[in-house]
Amino acid sequence: MIEVRLAKQRGAAEHGWLSARHTFSFGHYYDPKQLGFSDLLVINDDRVQPSRGFGTHGHRDMEIFTYILEGALEHKDSMGTGSVIRPGDVQMMSAGSGIQHSEFNHSAQALVHLLQIWIIPNRKSVTPRYQQVNFSESEKRGQLRLIISPEGENGSLSVYQDARVYAGLFNGEEQSTLTLAPERYAYIHIAQGSVEVNGIRLNAGDGARVRDETALHFSKGDNAEVLVFDLRPQELPEMI
């Protein structure tokens, strides 16, 4: 079963410097029917004005990753990490026992468009860590590239959870199928463009909960960029 949630059904927040769309309840947006899915707690689709951003703030016991769609984001944290994240880069921050960080648009002229995604970890108070990997367009073109996994397999980033994340680019005749293990859940997020999944048309910002499916077939893309989450079979995140 594929349960679609349209982009226009998401929560919205407009702060002048930040235009955000929330797939799940976050901040001032609350929907009791949208409290996450499996271990997936947050998908925020953010557009940040030039030279603006998120000042220093703290997190703990959360797996937070950032996926850049357009522009560049500057990151600093209490571990001493300083980096600039651009399209193709995936940043993973395990907050663990506690971390302070900030994110700002690195440009004084252009917007930065990013996804920030939170996954509930399967252990508490780990030593905080930072990872950043670039996945080239060719690695994602017409296929689903593993970008996050529990053991960091095949050059992916490591996550403290039984979850895997794939990224793919699909246009025209490009197509790919992701096989799901029995009793696994999945979540699909269309970051850009549009694509058919098992014959269902999904557009930018749309998402879909997936249950009782053995495979997801992506085809007929129109400049589509997608993320697919392979998740444990539970309905809602459980805080550890």
Please check whether residue 59 lies inside any domain of the structure: yes
Please check whether residue 39 lies inside any domain of the structure: yes
Question: Residue 115: which domain range?
Answer: 2-231
The enclosing domain of 175 has a CATH number of 2.60.120.10
Q: For residue 80, what pLDDT is reported?
A: 76
Do 130 and 100 touch, CB atoms closer than 8 A?
no
User: Along the chain (240 residues), what's the average pLDDT of each consecutive run of 10 residues?
Assistant: 97 95 96 97 96 80 95 83 90 89 82 96 94 96 98 97 98 98 96 98 98 97 98 91
Please check whether residue 129 lies inside any domain of the structure: yes
Token digits of residue 178: 């992701």
Q: For residue 180, what pLDDT is reported?
A: 97
Please check whether residue 80 lies inside any domain of the structure: yes
Please check whether residue 60 lies inside any domain of the structure: yes
CA distances from 27 to 59, 68, 191 (A): 14, 21, 21
Other Cβ atoms within 10 Å of 231 Cβ, number: 23
pTM metric for this prediction: 0.96
Q: For residue 208, what pLDDT is reported?
A: 98
At CA 223, angle to CA 219 and CA 225, rounded to 5? 80
Q: For residue 20, what pLDDT is reported?
A: 97
Q: For residue 230, what pLDDT is reported?
A: 98
> What total of structural domains would you count in the chain?
1
Please check whether residue 167 lies inside any domain of the structure: yes
Q: How many helices (H) and strands (E) does the chain have?
A: 1, 20
Q: For residue 82, what pLDDT is reported?
A: 79
Please check whether residue 239 lies inside any domain of the structure: no
Please check whether residue 236 lies inside any domain of the structure: no
Q: For residue 106, what pLDDT is reported?
A: 86
Burial 128-154 (b: 16+ CB within 10 A, else e): bebbbeebeeebbebbbbbbbbeeeee
